[in-house]
């Protein structure tokens, strides 16, 4: 028998509903330390909400989120701040600070939370800017002067600076050309394989999912309808996965809506 590993991150029976229909209906999902999980699923199925609940940005109606086996809801404000020191998050919309330049965005954590001197922080930001394939000439631009794909990569740079243990990427390659996208996929993969980070990514891009993921889970109607190793994506006969992978309009996903 394999030894029991405490998951790095676990959603336990998490439910959430806004004014409309149930968004999450008993979500159960876990990621082991040093693994990369990709969540796929139709638009509006609650993938982004699941991540924001894990980060404590949105309260769950019921259920728990455990980090290293500890319920984050029970953390004191101090512990919660320490929790965020170990986490990096790329928001779906980038969420860059539009009053700060690109490098100040990337270095925000270093300057404001870790109190690193600005010169040093800028040097670090420029390094990471290179990792996401942006030239140093964008460092002094403001987010509104960047294209959508560039903003995404700045958001990614801001998430990975300081090497957090747990990384969340909400659609990291959306809006990128195929070449840049594969470079970003490789970067995310490298964070997990070389630095031992735990990553949770959301993507609609199956090529990206195949590169990034150790494991893939499919969220549909508030629950996980399939979960398996990345290579099983093409061999499973799960009807949800088959329909999603083949991109057919008819099937269980259509029928459920």
Ligand X SMILES: Nc1ncnc2c1ncn2[C@@H]1O[C@H](COP(=O)(O)OP(=O)(O)OP(=O)(O)O)[C@@H](O)[C@H]1O
Output 76 or 99, the one with its CB closest to other proteins: 99
Output 15 or 92, the one with its CB closest to Mg ion: 92
- Identify the CA nearest to 85 among candidates 68, 104, 120, 110: 110
- Alpha carbon distance 195, 156 (integer Å): 16
62-67, strands of its sheet edge to edge: 22-31, 9-17, 62-67, 70-71
Where do contacts with other proteins occur on this chain (CB under 8 A)? 52, 55, 57, 81, 84-85, 87-89, 91, 93, 95-99, 108-109, 112-113, 158
Q: Is the dihedral of CA 35, 55, 174, 136 positive or negative?
A: negative
Sole window of 46-54, 141-149, 193-201, 245-253 interacting with ligand X (rule: CB under 6 A): 46-54
Output 23 or 161, the one with its CB closest to ligand X: 23
| Partner that binds at residue 49, options Mg ion, other proteins, ligand X, none, CB closer than 5 to 8 Å by kind | ligand X
Taking CB under 5 A as the criterion, the residue among 92, 174, 182, 238 binding Mg ion is 92
- Identify the CA nearest to 199 among candidates 83, 55, 35, 86: 35
- Identify the CA nearest to 204 among candidates 31, 55, 53, 38: 38
Asked whether position 203 contacts ligand X by CB under 6 A, the answer is no
Mark 6-35 with x for binding to ligand X (rule: CB under 6 A) and - for no binding: ------------x----x------------
155 backbone dihedrals φ, ψ, rounded to 5°:
-60, -40
Residues of this chain that bind Mg ion (CB under 5 A) = 48, 92
Residues of this chain that bind ligand X (CB under 6 A) = 18, 23, 41, 43-49, 92
């Amino acid at each position: 028998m394999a030894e029991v590993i405490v998951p790095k991150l676990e959603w336990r029976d998490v439910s959430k509903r806004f004014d409309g229909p149930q968004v999450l209906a008993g979500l159960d999902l876990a990621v082991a330390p040093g693994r990369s999980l990709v969540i796929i699923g139709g638009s509006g199925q609650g993938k982004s909400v699941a991540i924001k609940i894990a980060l404590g940005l949105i309260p769950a109606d019921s259920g728990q989120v455990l980090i290293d086996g500890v319920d984050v809801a029970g953390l004191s404000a101090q512990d919660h701040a320490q929790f965020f020191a170990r986490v990096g998050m790329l928001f779906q919309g980038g969420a860059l600070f539009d009053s700060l330049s690109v490098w100040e965005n990337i270095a925000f954590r270093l300057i404001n939370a870790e109190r690193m001197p600005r010169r040093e922080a800028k040097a670090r930001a420029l390094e990471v800017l290179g990792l996401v394939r942006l030239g140093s000439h964008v460092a002094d631009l403001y987010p509104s002067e960047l294209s959508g794909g560039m903003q995404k990569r700045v958001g990614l740079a801001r998430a990975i600076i300081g090497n957090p243990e747990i990384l969340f990427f909400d659609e990291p390659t959306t809006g990128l050309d195929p070449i840049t996208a594969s470079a970003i996929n490789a970067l995310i993969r490298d964070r997990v394989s070389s630095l031992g980070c735990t990553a949770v990514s959301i993507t609609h891009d199956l090529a990206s999912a195949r590169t990034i993921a150790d494991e893939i889970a499919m969220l549909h109607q508030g629950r996980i309808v399939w979960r398996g190793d990345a290579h099983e994506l093409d061999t499973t006969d799960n009807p949800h996965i088959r329909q999603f992978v083949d991109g057919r309009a008819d099937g269980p996903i259509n029928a459920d809506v």
